[in-house]
């Protein structure tokens, strides 16, 4: 399974974070948390020996020592996560993440409640909100990138921030009014600090200051892009014309595998007679490879080549793979596969073990329809989605349109463990692709489209026109 994305700069933002008066509580200690993360990455991350080598070792140890020293002064979970994320950025790997517990629903519910209770609240009056609409500069009312939340950015100086982003309104399941979800410090033409995601995990952000925007946050009342709104439905389909079928897949997560299979079965008649298919994978951050099985027969024109990977055998990685085998929605053959992988790992502790050989995939026949497949991709496509795209690119039916993908795939099969105290979970890649040794790695590069589309264009219309021209 792969999941879907930081540059290590110890700026004044972090230094001010260190002297905040926030409290960690009675038991948490940032130095302990940092050391625990450091030890887990050094021991279990499949890319560690590639990333910390003869050329980079001195830099790595220096940065680690600086981070360890600063962790001793940190007094809040958000500041500690900020520090750890800055340190993790050394590896330049989007598969190393701090997130929520995706394995145990019960544990995650308790931890989520703890995170929500810790979120700061600020009450803004109607008069204050009205005044913000007429301000100039950084302060004002902003919409987030997907237009699901309105955020009031106000001056609210503390020892580690100049500005706070307060939720004015939000789509259900996102944030709640009054919650402080941005804490930002001015650094030249940037605002740097933290933003909480929908699960109240603090993430490091750098927002460029523009006339009517802060990074991807658009000021209310400013001219909006004409690009169509990307549906966040797990799966969707629509007949665009007598010739073109549109299918949207938002995630390849294993929980969505049955939905994908059902969608393609429901469209079997359309797929058997309509010459053009638009497959919209924008913002699909990955999931599990078996989820895209129903799609590949409709792309196939010739033998696919798949490059294998090796998994690093450690006790933590074995435990992580075993935990994945217990999750809902995992097909029986995948449980057998994981069992075999664990058995190999148990026999070769401390080594990279082959769990996926280089091989070719040949199907019995080439489907006459669809004749042409346009796949829409963007910078948020990563991990398993990129694995799928590497296969799809080998088909003469397929054209990729949009922008380059995230470039998060070479170190993959993410597994994780809870923090020792803070209510978060650390994830890391346990496998290493042999693409790296062949010189065709894509991490931090991505997969380029055959035809580039601009943000202001309607990508679905462009794909339809391209297919039917």
Name the burial class of residue 21, with classes exposed (0-12), middle (13-18) and buried (19+) by CB atoms within 10 angstroms of its CB: exposed
Decide: helix, strand or coil at residue 401.
Answer: strand
The pLDDT, as a whole number, for residue 102 is: 86
Neighbours of 413 (CB within 10 A): 28
CA separation, residue 113 to residues 116, 246, 411 (Å): 5, 39, 32
- For the stretch 264-274, pLDDT in tens is 999 999 999 99
Write the Ramachandran bin of 351: left for phi over 0, alpha for psi from -120 to 50, otherwise beta.
Answer: beta
- For the stretch 86-134, pLDDT in tens is 999 999 999 999 999 988 889 999 999 999 999 999 999 999 999 998 8
Task: Encode burial over 376-390: b for 16+ CB neighbours within 10 A, e otherwise.
Answer: bbbebbbbbbbbbbb
Q: 326 falls in which pLDDT band (50, 70, 90)?
A: confident
The pLDDT, as a whole number, for residue 328 is: 77
Average pLDDT over residues 178-206: 95
- For the stretch 100-110, pLDDT in tens is 998 888 999 99
User: What is the C-alpha to C-alpha distance for residues 312 and 429, in angstroms, rounded to an integer?
Assistant: 9
User: What is the C-alpha to C-alpha distance for residues 308 and 343, in angstroms, rounded to an integer?
Assistant: 18
Decide: helix, strand or coil at residue 315.
Answer: helix
The pLDDT, as a whole number, for residue 24 is: 53
Q: Can you say whether the dihedral through the CA atoms of 386, 425, 68, 316 is positive or negative?
A: negative
User: What is the C-alpha to C-alpha distance for residues 248 and 63, in angstroms, rounded to an integer?
Assistant: 43
User: Which has the closest alpha carbon to 94: 409, 436, 419, 425?
Assistant: 409
The pLDDT, as a whole number, for residue 225 is: 52
Residue 219 has pLDDT above 50, yes or no: yes
Determine the straight-line distance between the first and last CA of the chain, rounded to whole angstroms.
Answer: 38
- What's the mean per-residue pLDDT of the chain? 91
Q: 158 falls in which pLDDT band (50, 70, 90)?
A: confident
Residue 40 has pLDDT above 70, yes or no: yes
The beta strand positions in 352-410, using DSSP E, are 352-356, 359-361, 372-377, 398-402
Contact 355, 311 (CB under 8 A): yes
Residue 246 β-bridge partners: 238, 278
The pLDDT, as a whole number, for residue 229 is: 62
| CATH fold of the domain at 235-468 | 2-enoyl-CoA Hydratase; Chain A, domain 1 (3.90.226)
Q: Encoding tokens for residue 19?
A: 């002297």
Predicted TM-score of the model (pTM): 0.87
The pLDDT, as a whole number, for residue 227 is: 52
Domain boundaries, the chain: 12-99, 105-219, 235-468
């Amino acid at each position: 399974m792969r999941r879907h994305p930081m540059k290590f700069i110890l700026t004044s933002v972090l230094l001010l974070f260190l002297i905040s008066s926030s409290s960690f509580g009675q038991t948490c200690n940032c130095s302990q948390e940092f050391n625990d993360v450091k030890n887990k990455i050094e021991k279990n991350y499949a890319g560690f020996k590639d990333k910390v080598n003869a050329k980079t070792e001195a830099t790595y140890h220096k940065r680690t020592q600086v981070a360890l020293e600063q962790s001793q002064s940190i007094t809040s979970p958000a500041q500690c996560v900020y520090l750890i994320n800055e340190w993790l950025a050394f590896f330049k790997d989007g598969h190393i993440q701090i997130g929520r517990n995706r394995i145990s629903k019960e544990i995650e519910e308790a931890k989520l409640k703890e995170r929500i209770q810790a979120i700061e609240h600020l009450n803004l009056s109607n008069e204050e909100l009205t005044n913000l609409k007429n301000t100039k500069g950084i302060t004002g009312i902003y919409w987030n990138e997907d237009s699901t939340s309105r955020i009031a950015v106000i001056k609210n100086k503390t020892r580690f921030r100049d500005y706070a982003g307060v939720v004015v309104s939000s789509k259900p399941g996102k944030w709640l009014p009054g919650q402080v979800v941005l804490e930002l410090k001015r650094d030249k033409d940037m605002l740097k600090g933290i933003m909480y995601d929908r699960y109240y995990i603090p993430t490091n952000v750098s927002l460029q200051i523009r006339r009517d925007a802060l990074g991807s946050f658009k000021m209310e009342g400013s001219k909006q892009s004409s690009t169509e709104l990307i549906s966040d439905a797990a799966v969707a389909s629509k007949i665009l014309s007598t010739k073109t079928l549109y299918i949207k897949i938002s995630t390849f997560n294993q929980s969505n595998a049955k939905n994908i299979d059902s969608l393609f079965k429901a469209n079997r008649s359309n797929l058997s007679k309509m010459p053009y298919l638009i497959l919209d994978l924008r913002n699909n951050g990955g999931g599990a490879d078996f989820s895209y099985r129903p799609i590949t027969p409709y792309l196939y024109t010739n033998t696919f080549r798949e490059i294998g990977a090796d998994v690093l055998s450690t006790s933590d990685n074995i435990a992580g793979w075993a935990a994945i085998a217990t999750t809902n929605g995992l097909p029986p053959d995948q449980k057998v596969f994981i069992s075999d992988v664990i058995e190999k790992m148990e026999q070769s502790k401390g080594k990279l073990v082959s769990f996926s050989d280089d091989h070719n995939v040949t199907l019995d026949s080439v489907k006459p329809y669809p004749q042409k497949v346009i796949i829409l991709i963007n910078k948020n496509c990563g991990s398993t989605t990129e694995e799928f795209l590497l296969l799809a690119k080998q088909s003469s039916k397929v054209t990729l349109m949009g922008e380059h993908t995230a470039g998060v795939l070479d170190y993959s099969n993410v597994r994780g463990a809870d923090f020792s105290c803070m209510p978060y979970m650390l994830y890391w890649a346990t496998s290493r692709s042999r693409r790296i040794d062949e010189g065709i790695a894509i991490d931090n590069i991505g997969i380029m489209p055959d035809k580039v589309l601009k943000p202001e264009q309607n990508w679905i219309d462009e794909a339809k026109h391209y297919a039917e021209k």
